[in-house]
Amino acid sequence: MRSNFSFLFLLSLITIIAGCSSSQHKFVSPIKPRVIVLTDAEIDDQCSMVRFLLYANDFDIEGIITTSSQYHSHGHRWAGDDWLKPFLDAYGKVYPNLIKNSKGYPTPEYLRAHSFLGNVASEGEMDSITPGSQQIVKVLLNKSDNRPVWIEAWGGTNTLARALKTIEEKHPERMAEVAKKMRFFFIWEQDSTYQSYIRPHWGKYNIPTIISDQFEAIAYRWKNIQPEKMQKYFDAAWMNEHILQNHGLVFALQGAHG
């Protein structure tokens, strides 16, 4: 549902700082955090996807996976299986300008090849093996790269649960190895699969987990949480003038969807 990049962005900054040699004052390219995004494509997720794409040079993106939640699934406020296409098309059009500022932006072709449909049939459905769940399995079982993988659930965790169940069923001897690689960042718990499957079967491995509700400060109830002096920056008039209107193709797409 709602994404919060502050933690991962801070992690990126720490990595950059750590990559600078204090003795030789030589800059070393940072090691980017590996990220898999699970999103139910709610309106705020679509806006978050715009911001995520604009920061795509800061991450090694292993997957963008459409999943469901208690709020969105097939037949229930669904944005469509192909909702991501116009966002990636817009990214492709601004990509030549983005790489003028940073060579680290992934190509549009790479992002399309790493976008998958997960478990979207209904809230919490985790019986079906899907392209999205299989991508998670592939990344987690890949022995050639043992760097941590941040798995962000902006929506439900059911596609992640399906992937972990596949690993438990087919590769039980590798569960501890896989768990050591994972980091969880969940925006609320937007279906029951974390409590019903992930915790009971994987909790013993003490996977670092953040379940965040801090987005409330900038989400639906911002007027009740933000200090009065900050509220103008969340008002439609300020947003339209300074962000949504006449500030480039990708931001225009955000305005159209959010």
CA 143 to mean position of chain CA atoms: 23
Q: Residue 118's pLDDT is what?
A: 98
Predicted pLDDT at 21: 38
pLDDT of residue 239: 81
pLDDT at 226: 86
Give alpha helix (H) positions in 142-186.
158-170, 175-181
Q: What is the mean pLDDT of each run of 10 residues along the chain (258 residues)?
A: 45 42 46 96 92 96 98 96 96 95 96 98 98 98 96 97 98 98 95 98 98 73 86 87 74 53
Contacts 24+ apart (CB under 8 A), 109-117: 110/61, 111/53, 111/56, 111/61, 111/64, 112/88, 114/61, 114/62, 114/63, 114/64, 115/63, 115/64, 115/65, 115/66, 115/84, 115/88, 116/63, 116/64, 116/65, 116/66, 117/65, 117/66, 117/81
Residue 256 has a pLDDT of 52
pLDDT for position 112: 98
Q: Given this model, what pLDDT does residue 7 score?
A: 44
pLDDT given for residue 17 in this prediction? 39
Q: What is the pTM of this model?
A: 0.80
Task: Identify any residues that bridge with 115 across adjacent strands, giving them in sequence order.
Answer: 64
Spell 210-224 as b/e; 16+ CB within 10 A means b: eebeebeebbeebee
- SS3 assignment, position 117: strand
Q: How much is the pLDDT for 249?
A: 63
pLDDT score at 253:
56
170 Cβ contact partners less than 8 Å away, ≥ 6 residues apart = none
